[in-house]
Amino acid sequence: MPSLPAFGPSSWPRVLQTLLLALAAALLCVWLQTPIPWMIGPLLATSAVSVLGAPTESWAPFRNTGQWVIGTALGLYFTPAVGALVASLWWAIALGIAWALMLGLGFGAWLRRLHAGHLAHLTPAQLFSTTYFAGAIGGASEMTLIAERQGARTDLVASAHSLRVLLVTLTIPFALQFWGVSGLDTLTLGVRDVQPVGLLVLAGLTLVGALFMQWLDRANPWFMGALVVTMVVTLAGVSLSAIPQPLLNAAQLVIGVSLGVRFTPAFVHTAPRWLASVAFASFFMMG
């Protein structure tokens, strides 16, 4: 299975070639106006050539930096107004969490029962981890990284989440547009402009949070550490800086690459039945 290697001189050509391929795919998706072009493009291109046996490679520090940026960007949405709204709707959020957990557990159990015969080469623990994290409702990169720690087949986990993200982004926005739903988002970022000094301060604070999470050996420390620190700062009413859009694009690109390199030629044998079942379950859960 392709891995995130320790970086060395021999890794430079493959890492750079993979990044150039990902950049070309991202620009193509931007031109085609696809959803999430800077992640979907690199993910699809990198996974396709990886399945064909091409020597793709991702560098762990690039992936960590991407998660650091995305975690920080998401934390900026937790303004005092959003915090008050979340506090007032705690019961609805709790129900939503419980519902998402139930859906994920049910989806994972169904995948395990349906594919146990085709995944007989996996140990019972690996089969459980693979189907559990493939079914869990969460971010593609986050679920894949946690699954990797548990010895799961990360290509199956990544493909399940990637397909689900693709299906959701291709259907829900168009459905809302068809029904004339608009104007629901009245809460925006507390700061929209990039402030160089504030950005440096924010980067330093979130880096400390990420390193602290890593020291605690928490799952997905670069995302969670940055997210928690930025949430605390933003909820306190402190507006330091927005995140530059090119930096967000680059972060999505390296995360897409880190998911794409996990695909192997062996995935071809499992892909049709696996992806068909994921698609069916995804539409069922959306319904």
Q: What is the pLDDT of residue 2?
A: 46
From the list 4, 282, 247, 274, the residue with the least C-alpha distance to 116 is 274
Q: Where exactly are the structural domains of the chain?
A: 9-180+187-286
Residue 186: pLDDT band (50, 70, 90) is: low
- How high does pLDDT run on average in the chain? 86
Express the helix, strand and coil content of the chain in percent, nearest 5 each.
70, 0, 30
Q: Is 202 exposed, middle or buried (0-12, 13-18, 19+ CB in 10 A)?
A: buried
Pull the structure tokens for residue 107.
């989806």
Separation of alpha carbons 276 and 175, rounded Å:
22
- DSSP of 238-276: ----PPPHHHHHHHHHHHHHHHHTT--TTHHHHHHHHHH
pLDDT value at 184 more than 60 = no
Task: Give the pLDDT mean for 44-65.
Answer: 89
Kindly indicate the confidence band of residue 7, based on its pLDDT and cuts at 50, 70 and 90.
very low
pLDDT at 8 over 60: no
- Residue 9: its pLDDT value, please? 39
| Mean pLDDT on 100-111 | 93
**Cα separation of the two ends of the chain:** 34
Q: In the predicted model, what is the mean pLDDT of residues 217-225? A: 88
Is a pLDDT exceeding 60 seen at residue 19?
Answer: yes
Percentage of the chain surpassing pLDDT 70? 91
pLDDT at 1: 42
Residue 65 has which token pair? 């930096």
Q: Averaged over 188-216, what is the pLDDT?
A: 88
Give dist(CA 100, CA 112) in Å, integer.
18
Q: Span 20-40, mean pLDDT?
A: 90
Non-local CB neighbours of 59 within 8 Å, separated by 6+ positions? 4, 5, 7, 11, 15
Higher per-residue confidence, 181 vs 119? 119
pLDDT at position 265: 82
Q: How confident is residue 118, by pLDDT bands cut at 50, 70 and 90? A: confident
